Structure 1
Amino acid sequence: MTLNPDSPLHEVLANRAARAVVQNYLPGIVNSPMLPQLKDLPVGQVLGMNATLSSNENELAKLWQLLGALPREDHRQMPQTRHAAPANDYEPESVARGSAALSHAVDVGCWDILEVTMDGPALGNPFTDVELTAVFVHADADGRAEQPVGGFYDGGGTYKVRFMPDRQGEWTFTTRSNARSLDGLKGAFRCSAPTPVNHGPVRVADRFHFAHADGTRYSPIGTTAYAWTHQPQSVQERTLEALAGSPFNKIRMCVFPKSYLFNTNEPDLFAFERSGDDWDFTRFNPEFFRQLELRIGQLAELGIEADLILFHAYDRWGFSDMGAAADDLFVSYLVRRLSAYRNVWWSVANEYDLLRAKSVEDWERIAGVVTANDPSGHLLSIHNCFGFYDYNRPWITHASVQRIDVYRTAENTDAWREAWGKPVVIDECAYEGDIDQGWGNITGEEMVRRFWEGAVRGGYVGHGETYLNEAEELWWSKGGSLVGDSPARIGFLAEILRQAPGGVLDPLPGDWDAPRGGVPGVQELIYFGFNRPSYRTIFLPPGKACTVDVIDTWNMTVERLDGQRSGIFRVELPARQYMAIRLDMVDGPIS
């Protein structure tokens, strides 16, 4: 029996060829977050939801003809066989060990990239046939273990190893490889002091927060532009210009291109070479990765962390379901290329629960591939759509959360901190914009309110924009230009955070109608959100005094009230929404 308009959508999507046909016609519907609700409906009914397609009888007839020619078989699962281990006889014994030409810098700054380049063999498929590792040792090891770093093939007979030294002084390294010419090469270099702007990779600090490796406080003020590196070069350049003038110091971005609403263009570069009409998942396209590396390096120059999403469901090319062997090969290759970049974070998946071909066991395995190939130990998480991943898993450094309630999201931050014992980053709280989807049409005021709610509860909320325009160039997906009202106000919040003791806020016991955050006995922030009181009565413990700032989070003003306050006192407010009060405790006698 052939596929037809009455076939259930899930049956059509389970057939790889049929899924490609449907995705070509309506990528927005088949990749919709509503897919779980649509999957049991007849495919004809689902496609009929699109007025343009349903009114075009010729296109519909063509679609049904294409589907009807396909057998009713499940081709969704790719082969799960593992690649054979690289053979020890890749090069003949006539090739001298360690004979490949080698080059590298002799001095590199701490937390910068040492790139070791080797000219080696190009026999067979070097991406899978050659294994290369360099073992780095500091001159004053002090019992520290050797640091093995995986290398990669960069095409054209060139192999590379990238290492991010985290300690000043003299280093040496030795290569190991099944390719004789690449085995036993040696080198030495000096790691000098970092530049003033290089504070090293971001780590978890104080359990619920972040800091760079040198101890400099880092508070993620994030945004999302999923597919910005898959756009024309002019759009990518405008994205960098917009970021340079923004408050954002983190950006969520996909490694693979995206196929979804307002994002149907075909990128210029792909991660893999083609074999006929299909991708060859065993052969990478180095030019694709060089372009990605260029943009990551430019983000580093702007002081912006690149939160890289390895897998996602919004895919019409087959990258979301390559099979375990191809997944692991891709992840190990990507991580080996990028782990020496200090501004990289790993997100194993965006909305992992929409990738239905993968199980929790698959995600655990993929996370293991990341950690095994990342000697720098970058931050690592996974992002949900409907249900949370188990953020208590030991490999997860922080929770990367999407709202699971239309209204209440940032208000859960303190509870999530308590449940997981890790930093909470609400990477998707909805987007400021005006599209027809509820996740993409909140106001700038509501976006800023969610940022403040998350901040006073000890977490970090992320931004995005989905304002419709004729070019369908929405920041949340393609980047380009920031046009919303929230970025400037988010920058104001970032400055308030920098002024907090230690640069962080933790949740404090609050009033029933207003959360509080800060440092006990040092500073408290009271946030009123969409409430608009005309005054607030404050109670301080006996013997305590404070200065009082009235903060208008939307108009970005701070008004310091005269004198110090103690005991029970009243703070006059303008009866406007989005106000806050900051109490800074003072030492010495009460004035």
Structure 2
Amino acid sequence: MHPLIRSFGFLFSPMLLALLSGAMAVSAPPSCEQWGVFEVELEGPATGNPFLGVELSATFSHDDQSITAAGFYDGDGVYRVRFSPPSQGKWKYRSASNAVELDGKSGEFEATAPGAGNHGPVEVAHEFHFAYADGSPYKPIGTTCYAWTSQPESLQRQTLKTLSESPFNKLRMCVFPKRYTWNQNDPSLYAFEGTPPNQWDFSRYNPKFFQHLEKQIVELAKQGVQADLILLHPYDDGRWGFDRMSDDADDRYLRYVVSRLAAYRNVWWSLANEWDFMKHKQESDWDRMIQVVSDADPYRRLTSIHNGYILYNHNNPLLTHASIQNGSAAEEAGRAVLYRDAYRKPIVLDEVKYEGDIPLRWGNLSAEEMVHRFWEGTVAGCYVTHGECYLSDDDVLWWAKGGVLKGESPARIAFLRDVLLGSPASGLNPIDKWQAPNICGKPAEYYLVYFGTSQPKTWEFSLPRHELEDGMTFKAEVLDTWNMTTTPVDGEFHAKSHSQYEFKDAEGRSIDLPGKPYIALRITRADHE
């Protein structure tokens, strides 16, 4: 039996390719982009419980690289192994299974150059920041739509359209459906076989549910959006029982999800949203499950866990970054920066409360306050995630179901995104965090100064002395973060040592400011070659 080969949805059969090649004795091997998804499809046992009884993996080899990926059962006697080649060239593979029909199947394919828009998976870079695998900088501008894939198809299409027109390049989203205020509808598909709402066989998965989820992850990838997948959450309260599965069921589920989704380059793992609100689990359970995901994932995709009231120990080396819920931390850069010092890895303030008008304290920020928190988090060297909760007669709130964005913050967040795109690739960091927490950048090259809610009418040119030298020349621009305007400042500024802590302009110049809130300065070197 020949395995069937898939790459980006195209089906390749070696026998068919040989027939089509006419006089050619051997067909050319199939191909797949570097960091794309190459899939081996096999036919195997369909009786009994293949999810439990059949083990399948394949080892992919290229030069001195060897990566083993677990396979999974996809229903109707079909098994798949997905692989994302991290480098170009000829890859060979061989399957291993306890089922004779699946064992020892081999083949090869060519990993070609990545296509337009394919920069590879996102990885940690420069300690506190991120970059794509090809070295291109990635600066997360996230939003939250927890249960968007559990909504009617028309609403899911609308959500994707909205995202395509938004500034957001990361989406926090749940695998399981959510039951909460303004989100009471049941989904049409569930992850397990059984009878809704809570009679499930946790040892049998529903392939159609996961096929749909994969489809939406691919759609996000086409738009350049990272899918920050929340694997477990507490917004169930026994309705479906997905929040209180046994240890064995949890671990099997996690391994199954990873085997299906890890090959998609835009997937991140979030073990839980508000892990400490899942009262049927102990902290040690999360230690175990983080290890399960890490062991199952041959690519070690970005991994985090999100808190309610109790912070998880983000010093766990298996967590690539810290996902933090803390609205007050984003109110002042000096608070947010403490997380960097504690964990020494990227900090993503994934929940700083939501723009909206619901009668709950976590969901009624003004648009101005949401944008302000983005800027405070940015100058702290962290990253901030957006959310929106505006009441609607149809109960379609972006934070839970997606749909359309109604708030005023996304346009201003797009302005910040453009500022970030023009900032140093290595990321923005606090420069004198204890004395000047409102200044970040790259010393002697690039600075952002954010004045927040204060309303100065002038600012004396003054920079922390780190790496500065007398005579360095700078230019400045005034950024109105709410009105989204950029105003160049006339002339140049010549740095001169003023004290052991700071440099000022050699002529003592200051910059005139408009005397209103939410103003920033961008200061860049003018004398670089």
Counterpart amino acid of residue 556 in structure 1 = M
Give the CA deviation at 1:405: 4.0
Q: For 1:367 and 1:510, locate their aligned partners in 2 and report how far apart those are by CA, in whole Å.
A: 32
Contact 1:250 1:307 in 2 (8 A): yes
The equivalences for 1:179-578 within 5 A come to 179-274=99-194, 278-315=199-236, 316-403=239-326, 405=328, 408=331, 411-502=334-425, 504-509=427-432, 515-539=438-462, 542-566=470-494, 567=505, 568-578=508-518
The equivalences for 1:89-108 within 5 A come to 99=1, 101-104=3-6, 105=12, 106-108=30-32
Q: Secondary structure at the match of 1:151?
A: strand
Match of 2:523 in 1: 583
Match of 2:502 in 1: none
Deviations 1:426-484 (A, max 9, x none): 00000000001111000110000000001111110000000001011000000000010
The equivalences for 1:144-159 within 5 A come to 144=65, 146-159=66-79
Contact 1:223 1:248 in 2 (8 A): yes
Deviations 1:40-64 (A, max 9, x none): xxxxxxxxxxxxxxxxxxxxxxxxx
Contact 2:126 2:427 in 1 (8 A): no
Deviations 1:404-442 (A, max 9, x none): 648746542211111100000000000000001111000
Contact 2:262 2:301 in 1 (8 A): yes
Match of 1:134 in 2: 58
Give the CA deviation at 1:513: 7.3
Number of equivalences: 487
Q: 1:100 to 1:459 in 2, by over 3 A?
A: same
Match of 2:9 in 1: none
Give the CA deviation at 1:538: 1.7
Match of 2:40 in 1: 116
Counterpart amino acid of residue 394 in structure 1 = P
Q: 1:221 to 1:206 in 2, by over 3 A?
A: same
> Percent sequence identity over matched residues?
49
Which among 91, 110, 126 is matched to residue 171 of structure 1?
Answer: 91
Contact 1:410 1:426 in 2 (8 A): no
Structure 1 or 2: larger strand share?
2
Superposition TM-score, scaled by structure 1 size: 0.80
Q: Secondary structure at the match of 2:243?
A: helix
Contact 2:44 2:102 in 1 (8 A): yes
Counterpart amino acid of residue 577 in structure 1 = P
Superposition TM-score, scaled by structure 2 size: 0.89
Aligned-residue Cα RMSD (Å) equals: 1.7
Match of 1:96 in 2: none
Q: For 2:492 and 2:431, locate their aligned partners in 1 and report how far apart those are by CA, in whole Å.
A: 22
Q: Secondary structure at the match of 2:438?
A: strand
Deviations 1:380-414 (A, max 9, x none): 01000102111111100000000164874654221
Counterpart amino acid of residue 363 in structure 1 = W
Query: Bigger CA drift: 512-521 or 171-180?
Result: 512-521
Give the CA deviation at 1:563: 1.3
Q: Secondary structure at the match of 1:330?
A: helix
Q: 1:581 to 1:133 in 2, by over 3 A?
A: same
Counterpart amino acid of residue 569 in structure 1 = R
Q: For 1:161 and 1:407, locate their aligned partners in 2 and report how far apart those are by CA, in whole Å.
A: 42
Q: For 2:343 and 2:127, locate their aligned partners in 1 and report how far apart those are by CA, in whole Å.
A: 10
Match of 2:80 in 1: 160
Contact 1:514 1:527 in 2 (8 A): no
Query: Bigger CA drift: 204-213 or 114-123?
Result: 114-123
Query: Bigger CA drift: 363-372 or 337-346?
Result: 363-372
Contact 1:475 1:482 in 2 (8 A): yes
Q: 1:588 to 1:352 in 2, by over 3 A?
A: closer
Give the CA deviation at 1:305: 0.1
Give the CA deviation at 1:583: 1.4
Give the CA deviation at 1:360: 1.7
Match of 1:33 in 2: none
Q: Secondary structure at the match of 2:314?
A: coil
Give the CA deviation at 1:502: 1.9
Q: Secondary structure at the match of 1:509?
A: coil
Q: For 1:308 and 1:356, locate their aligned partners in 2 and report how far apart those are by CA, in whole Å.
A: 21
Q: For 1:581 and 1:588, locate their aligned partners in 2 and report how far apart those are by CA, in whole Å.
A: 19
Give the CA deviation at 1:504: 2.1
Q: 1:407 to 1:183 in 2, by over 3 A?
A: closer
Deviations 1:343-393 (A, max 9, x none): 000000000000111112111111111111111211001000102111111
Q: Which runs of 5+ in 1 are unaligned?
A: 1-98
Q: For 1:441 and 1:427, locate their aligned partners in 2 and report how far apart those are by CA, in whole Å.
A: 16
Q: For 2:377 and 2:5, locate their aligned partners in 1 and report how far apart those are by CA, in whole Å.
A: 48
Counterpart amino acid of residue 37 in structure 2 = I
Deviations 1:280-330 (A, max 9, x none): 000100000011000000000000000000000001210011110100111
Contact 2:226 2:266 in 1 (8 A): yes
Give the CA deviation at 1:585: 2.3
Query: Bigger CA drift: 557-566 or 163-172?
Result: 557-566
Deviations 1:8-43 (A, max 9, x none): xxxxxxxxxxxxxxxxxxxxxxxxxxxxxxxxxxxx
